[in-house]
């Protein structure tokens, strides 16, 4: 490539990143810009930023599994990214305004805070931190961050699902059952949750209930990773 071509390529990537970050754009347009930028960019840190934005967009349009995959990819691209976000947390702040009748009202808003600086970016910061600790197999740390996510958004079934998996890994099976049952309430077509629930019930010795749930998981997704092994474990206990 000539120098001019390289400069044009850099300018194109900068434009793609700006489009990716611009909240005035439609979500699908921002998503396309993120795809293009992530594919072209070689520097790990800018790629990590773009992956984080794309994960937020996926959450906004109702694709939490793709969002989670992007969050895990962030720390593959830039393992030190956690150092850049570890001091951020979401806090609740009270803001006031006056109506035309000059009466005072209060409302609350969740914002991302680093020391005394506030920002609307990184609104899924606790989920992102949860992904980091989950990837590092630090399950108690992940549970803490995912609990914060759930407190802020009780309908985030992805946070319940991953926290349930963490509870399974630390042998807190009753807590895992509660989380997977909550996922099923929020998203009844989630085969992963049925598999997790079946495995949790198996660990608690409730083999008949476990069998019912693993059958639903396999009916929804016959190729689900780990489901065949779970089914075999349960069937073996039921034969005894």
Q: Residue 63: which pLDDT band, with cuts at 50, 70 and 90?
A: confident
Are 128 and 70 contacting, i.e. CB atoms less than 8 angstroms apart?
no
pLDDT digit string (tens) for 144-162?
A: 999 988 988 888 888 999 9
| 18-32, 65-79, 210-224: range with highest mean pLDDT | 210-224
pLDDT at 9 exceeding the cut of 50: no
Quote the pLDDT of residue 17.
56
- DSSP for the chain, please give it: --HHHHHHHHHHHHHHHHHHH-TTS-HHHHHHHHHHHHHH---HHHHHHHHHHHHHHHHHTT-HHHHHHHHHHHHHH-TTHHHHHTTEEEEEEEEEEE-TT--EEEEEEEEEEETTEEESS-TTHHHHHHHHHHHTT-HHHHHHHHHHHHHH-TT-HHHHHHHHHHHHHTT-HHHHHHHHHHHHHH-TT-HHHHHHHHHHHHHTT-HHHHHHHHHHHHHH-TT-TTHHHHHHHHHHHHH-
Q: Which pLDDT value is given to residue 2?
A: 41
- Side-chain-side CA neighbours of residue 232 (13 Å): 4
Q: Across residues 57-82, what is the average pLDDT?
A: 82
pLDDT of residue 90: 58
**72-101 average pLDDT score:** 63
pLDDT higher than threshold 70 for residue 177: yes
- Here the tokens at position 87 are 């001091």
What's the rounded Cα separation, in Å, for the pair 166 and 151? 17
Q: What is the pLDDT of residues 94-138, one digit of tens each?
A: 444 333 333 333 333 444 454 433 344 556 788 888 999 999 999
Asked whether the predicted pLDDT for residue 8 surpasses 60, the reply is: no
What values do phi and psi take at 172, rounded to 5?
Answer: -100, 75
Q: Stretch 54-75: mean pLDDT, rounded?
A: 84
Q: What is the pTM (predicted TM-score) of this model?
A: 0.75
Exposure of 65 in the CB half-sphere (CA atoms within 13 A): 6
Among 35-39, 47-51, 210-214, whose mean pLDDT is lowest? 35-39
pLDDT bucket at 91, cuts 50 / 70 / 90: low
User: Rounded distance, CA 234 to CA 240, Å?
Assistant: 10
pLDDT in tens, 29-39: 777 777 777 77
Q: What confidence score (pLDDT) does residue 67 get?
A: 86
Residue 230 pLDDT exceeds 80 = yes
For residue 62, pLDDT over 80 is answered with no
Residue 183: band (very low, low, confident or very high) from pLDDT cuts 50, 70, 90: very high
Q: What is the mean pLDDT of the chain?
A: 77
């Amino acid at each position: 490539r000539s120098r001019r071509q390289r400069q044009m390529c850099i300018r194109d990537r900068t434009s793609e990143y700006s489009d990716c970050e611009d909240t005035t754009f439609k979500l699908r347009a921002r998503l396309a810009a993120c795809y293009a930028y992530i594919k072209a960019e070689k520097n790990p840190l800018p790629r990590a930023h773009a992956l984080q934005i794309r994960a937020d967009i996926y959450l906004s349009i109702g694709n939490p599994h793709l969002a989670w995959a992007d969050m895990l990819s962030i720390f593959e691209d830039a393992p030190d990214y956690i150092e850049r976000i570890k001091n951020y947390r979401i806090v609740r702040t009270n803001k006031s305004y006056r109506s035309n009748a000059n009466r005072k009202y209060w409302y609350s808003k969740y914002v991302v805070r680093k020391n005394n600086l506030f920002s609307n970016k990184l609104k899924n910061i606790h989920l992102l931190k949860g992904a980091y600790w989950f990837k590092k197999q630090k399950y108690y740390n992940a549970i803490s961050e995912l609990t914060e996510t759930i407190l802020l958004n009780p309908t985030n079934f992805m946070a319940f699902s991953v926290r349930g998996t963490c509870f399974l890994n630390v042998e807190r099976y009753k807590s895992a059952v509660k989380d997977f049952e909550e996922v099923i309430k929020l998203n009844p077509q989630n085969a992963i949750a049925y598999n997790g629930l079946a495995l949790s019930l198996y660990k608690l010795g409730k083999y008949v209930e476990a069998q019912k749930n693993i059958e639903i998981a396999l009916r929804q997704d016959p190729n689900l990773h780990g489901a065949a092994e779970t089914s075999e474990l349960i069937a073996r206990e039921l034969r005894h």
